[in-house]
């Protein structure tokens, strides 16, 4: 292993600065999934150039953003009156239609979208997934209040209508890290003793029999949101954190009770392990299975498979504290 691979001085001040900043859920996910990529982006400030072409279809990330914006627009339109939990099917359908119309006209003014006919089809498909996802919430109690894109740990005011002071950052105990972000959706009972967090996914779900905990670090967000809710709403006794996949038939994967407590502990332990790797100075690339979606892969040699194979005897021990997470099936 050489400095060209990621070797640096132990306790490097640039790395310390990157770790002591207010983290986002995105930066913490990268810290878990790719410690060296975390250094490149947050310690060295590397950013990839984003090329805006005229696409025939939205990429997976942009389509997911579209669905999230539709869900947000629909729930905002229904809260606080009549309230999402009390809204009729017709009212929810109308809210989704209004949000779709707004996005149909707004997005082409802000970014590259497919040609008009394909764009209308794309928005229709996103609206269909939104409707099916929200229809899966039949069990929401009528005394529940819903928020969407609810911020925490953000600068610039307390946040009108939010259930907490949105400027407060959230600590992750035992790591020394603090973070902020935005939750896809938060439901709180009127009694204030129960909360449910929803992280929406526009992709196809994994098999229903598969247990999803941290998903090799990919599904860290809902766990971080659970930590935030417990810190910002200490009166809440019951927290449910769920993933909702919207493609095909909506599939819901929940963490609650002792299982959620265990996964929160696992996440904190792995984040501490990632920080130990960074502070050791032996920061190695990893064999990233979803590298096609990672803009930082361009920092590695073009023939990355051969490169990683030749260096494996050095890289595996360097990444050993996180190898269990990366190889986990859940």
**33 shares a domain with 67:** no
Cα separation, 141 vs 147, whole angstroms: 15
Look at residue 297 in the predicted model and tell me its pLDDT: 77
**pTM: predicted TM-score of the whole model, two decimal places:** 0.87
pLDDT in tens, 256-273: 999 999 999 999 999 999
- Inform me whether the pLDDT recorded for 291 exceeds 90: no
Look at residue 139 in the predicted model and tell me its pLDDT: 64
**67 shares a domain with 105:** yes
Q: Provide the residue range defining the domain that includes 305.
A: 1-49+141-330
In sequence order, the 6+-apart residues with CB closer than 8 A to the CB of 96 are 70, 74, 127, 130, 131, 134
**206 shares a domain with 80:** no
**248 shares a domain with 120:** no
CATH number of the domain bearing residue 182: 3.90.320
- Overall domain count for the chain: 2
**175 shares a domain with 312:** yes
Cα separation, 278 vs 83, whole angstroms: 46
What percent of the chain has a predicted confidence (pLDDT) above 90? Answer: 61
**37 shares a domain with 61:** no
Look at residue 48 in the predicted model and tell me its pLDDT: 77
- Inform me whether the pLDDT recorded for 190 exceeds 80: yes
| Domain final residue, candidates 135, 168, 196 | 135
**257 shares a domain with 125:** no
Span 305-329, average pLDDT: 90
**284 shares a domain with 148:** yes
DSSP string, 184-202: EEEEEETTSSEEEEEEEE-
Through-space distance between the first and last CA atoms of the chain, rounded to whole angstroms: 31
Torsion sign over Cα 312, 317, 318, 321: positive
pLDDT in tens, 37-47: 999 999 999 98
Tokens of 305: 């498979």
**43 shares a domain with 57:** no
- Inform me whether the pLDDT recorded for 99 exceeds 80: yes
Span 249-253, average pLDDT: 83
Mean pLDDT rounded to a whole number for the chain: 89
- Inform me whether the pLDDT recorded for 80 exceeds 60: yes
Range of lowest pLDDT (51-65, 93-107, 177-191, 225-239): 51-65
**220 shares a domain with 307:** yes
Cα separation, 164 vs 156, whole angstroms: 14
- Inform me whether the pLDDT recorded for 113 exceeds 80: yes
**239 shares a domain with 99:** no
Higher pLDDT, 31 or 173: 31
pLDDT in tens, 11-25: 999 999 999 999 999
Are the beta carbons of 51 and 57 closer than 8 angstroms? no
Span 76-104, average pLDDT: 92
**145 shares a domain with 129:** no
> Which pLDDT band holds residue 209 (cuts at 50, 70, 90)?
low
> Which pLDDT band holds residue 101 (cuts at 50, 70, 90)?
very high
| Domain final residue, candidates 105, 135, 165 | 135
Look at residue 252 in the predicted model and tell me its pLDDT: 87
Look at residue 207 in the predicted model and tell me its pLDDT: 75
Span 278-307, average pLDDT: 80
pLDDT in tens, 152-186: 998 875 567 889 999 999 999 889 999 999 999 99
| Domain final residue, candidates 99, 115, 135 | 135
pLDDT in tens, 129-151: 999 888 876 566 677 899 999 99
What's the burial of 55, exposed, middle or buried (CB within 10 Å: 0-12/13-18/19+)? middle
């Amino acid at each position: 292993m050489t400095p060209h691979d990621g070797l640096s001085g132990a306790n490097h001040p640039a790395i310390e600065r990157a770790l002591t900043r207010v983290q986002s859920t995105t930066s913490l996910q990268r810290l878990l999934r790719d410690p060296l990529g975390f250094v490149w982006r947050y310690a060295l400030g590397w950013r990839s150039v984003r090329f805006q072409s005229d696409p025939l279809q939205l990429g997976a990330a942009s389509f997911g953003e579209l669905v999230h914006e539709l869900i947000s627009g629909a729930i905002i339109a229904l809260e606080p009156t009549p309230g999402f939990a009390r809204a009729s099917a017709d009212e929810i359908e109308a809210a989704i239609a209004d949000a779709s119309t707004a996005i149909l006209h707004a997005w082409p003014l802000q970014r590259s979208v497919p040609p008009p006919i394909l764009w209308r089809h794309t928005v229709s498909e996103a609206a269909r997934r939104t409707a099916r996802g929200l229809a899966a919430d039949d069990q929401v109690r009528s005394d529940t209040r819903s928020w969407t894109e609810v911020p925490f740990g953000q600068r610039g005011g307390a946040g009108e209508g939010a259930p907490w002071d949105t400027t407060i950052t959230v600590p992750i105990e035992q790591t020394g890290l603090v973070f902020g972000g935005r939750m896809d959706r938060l439901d709180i009972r009127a009694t204030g003793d129960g909360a449910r967090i929803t992280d929406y996914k526009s992709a196809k779900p994994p098999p229903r029999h598969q247990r999803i905990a941290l998903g090799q670090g990919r599904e860290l967000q809902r766990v971080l949101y659970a930590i935030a809710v417990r810190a910002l709403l200490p009166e809440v006794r019951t927290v449910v954190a769920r993933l909702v996949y919207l493609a095909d038939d909506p599939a819901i994967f929940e963490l609650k009770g002792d299982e959620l407590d265990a996964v929160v502990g696992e996440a904190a332990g792995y984040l501490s392990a990632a920080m130990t790797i960074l502070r050791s100075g032996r920061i190695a690339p990893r064999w990233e299975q979803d590298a096609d979606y990672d803009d930082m892969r361009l920092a590695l040699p073009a023939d990355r498979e051969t490169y990683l194979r030749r260096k494996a005897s050095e890289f595996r021990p360097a990444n050993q504290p996180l190898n269990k997470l990366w190889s986990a099936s859940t």
